[in-house]
Amino acid sequence: MKVTLLVGIIATAVVLAGCASAETAGDLVEVSAETTSAIAPEVTSMQDVDPQLITAANLDPCPEGVFAPDAAIPGLPTLTLNCLDGTSALDLSAVRGIPIVVNVWASWCPPCIAEMPLLAQAARDLTDQVQFLGINIEDDRSSALQLLADMGVTFPSVEDRSGDTRAPLTIPGPPVTYFVRADGVIAGRWDGQIQGEEQLTSLLQEYLGITW
């Protein structure tokens, strides 16, 4: 369960920072650190993605949603997004049956990159207890897939190229991580980089009752 962060990916000065303002709405917000600004790159067409990148990333399939789910309040929005591997689409509000950790990230966001190995290891260790799902926000699809391939992150992600999740999920900027119960209710969230295994273990226990 030990996680080795990749050395030299980002400078120490930005590891503790998020990629936007720390001001968020709602009662379930916890802010981990003061955040700085970052500008998302111009998004390119999905048609330009090299199929070999999808193969190299080797992402797990997106979870299957349930038909006509009961409303979960507060829950993930009724919003259908394409899976990053291009194989299917997912209605965020329809994910049910297993607790889910939803991580909003982007390849242009240094704190997102810093916490990825931690999340990837937890996803591997807890595969029978919790589903991990990424929301790749306002990003270039090729850059996102290349990053996942380089870092060996295989849990699925959906792509939100237009930032449609920002308003309903009150996202100031990535990274933001949501802890969603099996019934679809968002039990809690963490804004900014998750600072190591001990902190993630605490969040999983507090919000989802899961021990890592």
* Tens digit of each residue's pLDDT (9 = 90 or more) over 131-151: 999 999 999 999 999 999 999
Task: Tell me what pLDDT residue 111 has.
Answer: 97
Taking residues 3-19, report their average pLDDT: 44
> What strands, in cross-sheet order, belong to the sheet with 131-137?
89-91, 80-83, 157-160, 131-137, 100-105, 176-180, 186-191
* Tens digit of each residue's pLDDT (9 = 90 or more) over 149-175: 999 999 999 999 999 999 999 999 999
How open is the CA angle 204-168-70, to the nearest 5 degrees? 70
Q: What is the CATH number of domain 12-208?
A: 3.40.30.10
CA–CA dist 212, 209 (Å, integer): 10
Per the model's pLDDT, the better-predicted residue between 86 and 196 turns out to be 196
Domain ranges for the chain, please list them. Answer: 12-208
CA–CA dist 15, 106 (Å, integer): 14
Say which range, 50-64, 119-133, 148-162, has the weakest mean pLDDT. Answer: 50-64
pTM, rounded to two decimals: 0.76
